[in-house]
Each structure stands twice: as C-alpha cells, then as structure tokens.
Amino acid sequence: MLVGKLITFEGIDGAGKSTQIQLLEAEFNKLGILYKTFREPGGTDLSEKIREILLDKDNLELYSNAESLLFAAARAQLTVEQIKPAIAKGECVICDRFTDSTIAYQGHGRGLNIKNLEIINNIATEGLTPDITFILDIDPGKASERMRAESPDRMEAAGIDFFQKIRQGYHQIMEQFPYRCIVINAEQSQENISKEINQIIMKRFKEELTCS
Ligand code: TYD
C-alpha cells in the first residue's frame, strides 16, 4: 500500500494540472489508496484568504518580495495544518503546486534571487520535500489558448514572455532534481498524460504498491 507520500504537480497556468489531479484521484480511489488533495496557494482558511490577496487583479502594486512572502506564508500554514498531519497518518498528499512554483514564478519569472527563495521555501515547509513532482510542460501560447480566461487573475494577466521564463525555470528545476522531477509532455491527450503518470507512480513506488 502506498502510504505517506507527497506528490506535487507543477507547470505554467493552463498546463492541465487540475484534470490530471482528478484522474490520479480516480486511480487512487480504484486502488484504495488514502489521499488528500490541496491546491496552492490555499488549503486552509488562512491560506485561502492569502490566495484572495495574491490573485486579486486590483492588487497591482504588490511587490515581488511581498508576493513571495505571501506565497510562503500560505504554504507554511498549509504544511503544518494539513500536509504534515496527513502524511503522519499515512495518507498520500497530492498538491496542486508547491515549492517549485515559487522558484519558477518568483525566481525565474520575476527574477528574484533563487537562493533566497530556497531559504524561504525551506522555512515554509520545515524542510519537507515532495517524493515525486510531475512538471506538465506545454508551450505558453497553447496553454493560453486552452485557458481563454474571460477574466484573467493577477498572475494570468502577466503575458506570454513571463510564462516562457517560467517554463524555462521548470526545465532548470528538473535538471537540478532529475530523480524527484518528471517532465511530462502536456501537449498530448489527457488520457495519454494520465496513463504516463500512473505508470511512473507504479514504477517508482512498485514495492510499496505490491506489498499491501
Ligand atoms: P491558480 O488559479 O491556482 O492557477 P493554476 O490553476 O495554474 O495553479 O493560481 C495560482 C497562481 O499563483 C498561478 O498563476 C501560479 C502562481 N503561484 C506563484 O506565482 N508562486 C507560488 O509559489 C505558487 C504556489 C503559485
């Protein structure tokens, strides 16, 4: 049985994380794996309030350092209040975004110092790192076509160049952590992506999944 793993999903806006998370949940339900799913920023009352500030398109004066610290505050609360207790109970945790989002968006996207962001991330998570991270990789032009948001939030309004930098940032993260991070071509059909993700999880955690 698969217990106590932290599985994170990353990628630019419109990469299709939510659909893939739903498909993984369906697979876990089928296999009887206990799990909890959270989205970042969010997942606790306080973190959801911070989310409203972060995504409010009227908050255009939000400085990048303040933005980073707000993401970190939301993550700190989520980690202690929800993620760590769930893992301690043996549940798997699926997280829609985690620390890599801060490195990709605030580091590579906004150009903030990555070493500093790593320290902030480390404080927020008390050193907790994902067991496996799926980076859904897609061309920003295609992702924005997919979203076609009628009313883009503050982050989505940033433009294609910003998302190009974030995409490259994710590639660098993958090079830095080749065992933890798996890049998935998110331009394939949802069904193929899901199959690939399920197979990778089966392979990576084979022993735990078969010794139940
Ligand atoms: P959301 O609507 O949840 O987007 P998505 O469905 O793509 O995850 O909004 C979250 C936004 O916040 C998204 O644009 C990514 C951004 N973000 C950061 O910039 N840094 C972070 O650390 C996190 C967690 C998210």
Q: Is residue 1 part of a domain?
A: no
- What's the N-to-C CA distance of the chain in angstroms? 4
Q: Which two structure tokens, joined as six digits, stand for 11? A: 């990628």
Ligand 1, atom 7: closest residue by C-alpha: 13
Tell me, using a 6 A CB cutoff, whether residue 40 lines ligand 1.
yes
Q: How many domains does the chain have?
A: 1
Q: Ligand 1 center to residue 71 CA distance, Å? A: 9
Q: How far apart are CA 13 and CA 105, in angstroms?
A: 11
Q: How far apart are CA 30 and CA 4, in angstroms?
A: 18
Provide the residue range defining the domain that includes 185. 6-209
At 1, the pLDDT band (50, 70, 90 cuts) reads confident
Higher pLDDT: 148 or 100? It is 100
pLDDT, average across residues 87-102: 98
Q: Which two structure tokens, joined as six digits, stand for 172? A: 């660098």
Tell me, using a 6 A CB cutoff, whether residue 97 lines ligand 1.
yes
Q: Is residue 147 part of a domain?
A: yes
Give the domain CATH number at 141.
3.40.50.300
Q: Is residue 60 part of a domain?
A: yes
Which residue matches tokens 């339900």?
A: 29
Which tens digit of pLDDT belongs to each residue from 3-38? 999 999 999 999 999 999 999 999 999 999 999 999
Q: What's the pTM? A: 0.96
Ligand 1 atom with the smallest distance to the CA of 102 is 22
As beta bridge partners, residue 36 has: 93
Q: Which residues have CB under 8 Å from 64's CB, separation 6+? A: 106, 110, 111, 112
Which tens digit of pLDDT belongs to each residue from 53-68? 999 999 999 999 999 9
Ligand 1 pocket mutation, candidates 97, 117, 121, 173, criterion most atoms within 8 A of CB: 97
